[in-house]
Amino acid sequence: MSRVSFDQLIEAGAHFGHLTRKWNAAMAPYIFMERNDIHIIDLHKTVVKVDEAAEIAKVMAKGGKKILFVATKKQLKGAVAELAKAVGMPYVTERWSGGMLTNFATIRKAVKKMGDIDKMTADGTFDNLSKREKLQISRQRAKLELTLGSIADMRRLPSALFVVDVMKEHIAVAEAKRLGIPVFAIVDTNSDPSNIDYVIPANDDSAAAVEIIVSAVCAAISEGLQERKAEGKGDEKDENEEGVKRIEHGRSRNGAARRPRKAAASSETEVEAEA
């Protein structure tokens, strides 16, 4: 049985793509038709792709791997953060700072700095500072927390990314590609799926559609975690700090473009620059 239904997706408006003049030809295999100059996504393929992505995510979770969810669109970030948090997965929903993956060592330094500030507060050192110093440190702590989000708890690079809107999150996708980290993504008709390993064709502007899809994937992750727990394994697989192996099987093949029928990050991270 599929994790999402055709009717659910229709009701959520997952089938509405962008204007035909804005289409990316590489998305042609996932387009059902044109209607009133709008591309209509083939939701039968969406259902299949959600099931494929969910099964792979389940296997990864069972293996103790972390999937980093990235969704910074205002109308989407709340739901995505809540769903990812519920299954213990990291997420970035405020802003993607360049170098979050490619300069992960610097990110860890920023996390340590945030931890040092917390330690100052806990041991009373903070209370002995001047009013001006307290204000500066408090602002720095708030800025770091906003920028880092839940990745402050990540001890190593994620094993995969789950991205909502590959155009908006193109820096995150580019960094993942550079490091060989596989990417799951909800991809709309105006986006290029060529750098995405697991394409889920759908309207990436619909909060309802995104929530249905992410919920299905997170439910699969939860199942994987439960199976891992039942086997008596730890919370996280012991992997090399910087090494992430790419999953080769299951990579999306988009095929040649056809017309549907009618009816990169810098070497210095932004976190480092801001700190």
Q: Is 123 part of a structural domain of the chain? A: no
Q: Nearest-CA neighbor of 213 among 20, 88, 84?
A: 84
The answer to whether position 152 is within a domain reads: no
Q: Examine residue 78 and state whether it is found in any structural domain, yes or no.
A: yes
Residue 3 in this model has a pLDDT that exceeds 90: yes
How would DSSP label each residue in 4-57? Answer: S-HHHHHHTTTTEEEEGGG--GGGGGGEEEEETTEEEE-HHHHHHHHHHHHHHH
Q: What is the reported pTM?
A: 0.80
pLDDT at 52 over 90: yes
Instruction: Note whether residue 122 is domain-resident.
Output: no
pLDDT single digits (tens) 118-163:
888 888 888 888 888 889 888 888 887 777 767 777 888 999 999 9
pLDDT at site 234: 65
CATH code where residue 229 lies: 3.40.50.10490
Q: Which residue has the higher pLDDT, 250 or 167?
A: 167
Q: Which domain holds residue 210?
A: 6-97+157-270
Query: For the residues 73-88, what does the mean pLDDT come to?
Result: 94
Dihedral angle, C-alpha 202, 204, 207, 208, nearest 10 °: 0
Instruction: Assess if residue 131 is contained within a domain.
Output: no
Q: Provide the 3-class DSSP secondary structure of residue 173.
A: helix
Please indicate whether residue 108 or residue 240 has the higher confidence score (pLDDT).
108
Token pair recorded at residue 19: 């204007």
- Number of domains forming the structure of the chain: 1
DSSP 185: E
Instruction: State the chain's maximal CA–CA distance in angstroms.
Output: 72
User: What pLDDT, on the 0 to 100 scale, is given for residue 15?
Assistant: 96
